[in-house]
Structure 1
Amino acid sequence: MFRKAERKQSKLRLAICGPSGSGKTYSALLIAQGLTPNGRIALVDTERGSGELYSNITDYDVAQLTPPYTPQRYIDLINASIKSGYEVLIIDSISHAWTGDGGVLDMHSKASTATRNSFTAWRDVTPKHNSMVDAIIGAPLHVIVTMRTKTAYEMTDENGKKKPMKIGLAPIQRDGMEYEFTTVFDLAIEQHLATASKDRTGIFDGQHFVPSVETGFLLRNWLESGAQPAASVSEELKTALEELQTEASTINTEDQLREWWAHNSAKIRSLTTNEQVNLSAICKQRIAEMNNE
């Protein structure tokens, strides 16, 4: 049934987009410091060790991610950061999951070659990318991702002639990926100025600023200003979730997995929304694995 809308306390989903040299990693670390002054920060580094160049800014742990940049490897690191109790996870960058060696476009190219059908290839590959997005959205910690950008152009008609017009910087990721985030910052190389191309918080509308620790403070205050979320799951439910995740990962057919979900529906409904999203992502990944076996 319907109820009165109320903004709850939540975890940040921030995307920082910009070309090389615009300060994406540096900005992410400063913002993370403001989000959790005394908490633990984890950074997934796909940039060949460049993520460790800023260890003088704040304390953080790093995990190197090398090819293949499959969505599942990102999911594994997200889950590892959750289990390790980090408060902020920085994924630097998520563009590799799209265009990198072993990323979605590479997976699609190989599947198209094997099946001789590009449409069928997308049907097989898209669920893997969706599972990664679900893992980011459902993670019970703050998540900051960086995305490389490329210059986008649009053909315009000028005096009867077609002319390319620069319309901005497009993230190197699936179209519309930026809509998944609470806030999206676009960084410029000049002075590392940021502009919010999307901002559900309303804090940065119309501003041009250099991201800093204060940016993280402002975001944290907004996130914590909402109503208290529902009580966290009990230890009994946490145990139930672990058991469900283990069971789901061992089922061998899609029909059996659907029957298992229906059989355990009451137990699944008792979990929090984030826990249900995580479990759903595991099931989707298991289906994808079975289809490839």
Structure 2
Amino acid sequence: MKLQQAQRHQVKLRLGLSGASGFGKTYSALLLAFGITNDWSKIAIIDTENNSASLYSHLGEFNVLSLDEPYTPERYIQAIRACESASMEVIIIDSITHEWNGKGGCLQLHEQLGGRFQDWAKITPRHQAFLDAILQSNCHIITTVRRKIDYSLDMNSNGKTSVVKHGTKEVTREGFEYELTVNFELINDQHLAKASKDRTGLFMDKPEFVINASTGKKLIEWCNVGVSLDKVKEEITQCSTVDGLKHLYNMYSSLQKEIHPLILERKIELDKVNVQIVEKDEVIKLNKEQSHGTNN
């Protein structure tokens, strides 16, 4: 065992977006994801909303994994693993509501077992495995969840009951938002959002705003505060591909000014190596062709 000083850049973002249908959850999630990674090709969206993500294909070349029923926790976990295996940086789960309240989701699974309180002993571990897959992922994850109006039957002093409206409630198991870095609530069809939970301190108790790419950029910069510049330079020096350099440049957005010269220098070195490899391959190919011609 060894104690180490905590560094924020080691933490992956866990972001939530909730709102009623038509309030812009998918669109906002995509802009948020692009602000985090600055690379559409590194974004994957797990789409349970009838291919709604494809409506925004004009934004960029992001990746889509369509997830149909049954919406069991295990199928969500498989989808997350598939995105991780494809080296995605940001995974959008649109939405997690189906895992709880969809066909094959936890509520239906519980009902199929008999709907008794003791039956949750079989369902809760499956739901927790789904949450663990989100919390332990090596990717940044954005979840969307539907909201519905919450009512209750209250009795007044005269003994009469009446229906009381309590605002809106997320359609997933209660307590999920406490696992998140930031939870944004979209409050109307103009895409206005407010933070209902915020560990970063960037958005809490601030006026409503429209989520865009700059929101994601603020969050990734918050993550990168305290990153060791020497460590980043070492990563650049050891990087062996141009794509890898691009990834590092986007990952450490708060240090781009400092690392830009080193990125360019390393790119020139890699380009020279690539040219030498191509030239060597051409010489080998030419020698083989000449040898073949001589033998004939």
Fold match, TM over 0.5? Answer: yes
Would you say 1:29 and 2:30 are equivalent positions? Answer: yes
- In structure 2, stretches of 5+ residues that fail to align are 232-296
- Could you say which residue in structure 2 is the equivalent of 1:203? 202
- In structure 1, stretches of 5+ residues that fail to align are 232-293
Q: Distance in 2 between matches of 1:4 and 1:66?
A: 43
| Higher share of residues assigned helix | 2
Aligned residues of 2:15 and 2:182 also touching (Cα < 8 A):
yes
What letter corresponds to residue 14 of structure 1 in structure 2?
L
Cα 1:226–1:122 change in 2 (3 A) is farther
- Could you say which residue in structure 1 is the equivalent of 2:130? 132
- Could you say which residue in structure 1 is the equivalent of 2:220? 220
The TM-score, its normalising length taken from structure 1, stands at 0.71
For residue 59 of structure 1, report the CA deviation from its aligned partner.
1.9
- Could you say which residue in structure 2 is the equivalent of 1:185? 184
Q: Secondary structure of 1:191's partner?
A: coil
Q: Which string of whole-angstrom CA distances, capped at 9 and with x for unpartnered residues, describes residues 93-117 of structure 1?
A: 00000011100011101111xxxx7
- Could you say which residue in structure 1 is the equivalent of 2:175? 176
Q: Which string of whole-angstrom CA distances, capped at 9 and with x for unpartnered residues, describes residues 209-233 of structure 1?
A: 01001111111111111456xx9xx
For residue 145 of structure 1, report the CA deviation from its aligned partner.
0.6
What letter corresponds to residue 203 of structure 1 in structure 2?
L
Cα 1:187–1:3 change in 2 (3 A) is same
Q: Which string of whole-angstrom CA distances, capped at 9 and with x for unpartnered residues, describes residues 162-219 of structure 1?
A: 5544332211000111111111000022421101000001101122101001111111
- Could you say which residue in structure 2 is the equivalent of 1:101? 103
Q: Which string of whole-angstrom CA distances, capped at 9 and with x for unpartnered residues, describes residues 219-250 of structure 1?
A: 1111111456xx9xxxxxxxxxxxxxxxxxxx
Q: Distance in 1 between matches of 2:162 and 2:200?
A: 37
Aligned residues of 2:48 and 2:95 also touching (Cα < 8 A):
yes
Aligned residues of 2:22 and 2:189 also touching (Cα < 8 A):
no
For residue 120 of structure 1, report the CA deviation from its aligned partner.
2.8
Q: Which string of whole-angstrom CA distances, capped at 9 and with x for unpartnered residues, describes residues 125-159 of structure 1?
A: 11000000000000001100100011123556766
**Who wins on radius of gyration, i.e. which is larger?**
2
Cα 1:36–1:206 change in 2 (3 A) is same
Q: Secondary structure of 2:56's partner?
A: coil
Aligned residues of 1:29 and 1:58 also touching (Cα < 8 A):
no
Q: Which string of whole-angstrom CA distances, capped at 9 and with x for unpartnered residues, describes residues 256-275 of structure 1?
A: xxxxxxxxxxxxxxxxxxxx
Would you say 1:85 and 2:84 are equivalent positions? Answer: no
Q: Secondary structure of 1:56's partner?
A: helix
Q: Residues 1-293 of structure 1 correspond to what in structure 2 (within 5 A)?
A: 6-9=6-9, 10-38=11-39, 40-112=42-114, 118-154=116-152, 163-207=162-206, 208-227=208-227
Q: Secondary structure of 1:89's partner?
A: strand
The TM-score, its normalising length taken from structure 2, stands at 0.71
Q: Could you tell me the percent identity over the aligned residues?
A: 43
What letter corresponds to residue 183 of structure 1 in structure 2?
V
Deviates most, 64-73 or 119-128: 119-128
Runs of 4+ in 1 over 2 A off after TM superposition: 1-8, 153-168
What letter corresponds to residue 123 of structure 2 in structure 1?
V
For residue 6 of structure 1, report the CA deviation from its aligned partner.
3.9
Cα 1:149–1:83 change in 2 (3 A) is same
Deviates most, 118-127 or 90-99: 118-127
What letter corresponds to residue 149 of structure 1 in structure 2?
R
What letter corresponds to residue 124 of structure 1 in structure 2?
K
Cα 1:121–1:85 change in 2 (3 A) is same
What letter corresponds to residue 78 of structure 1 in structure 2?
I
For residue 67 of structure 1, report the CA deviation from its aligned partner.
0.6
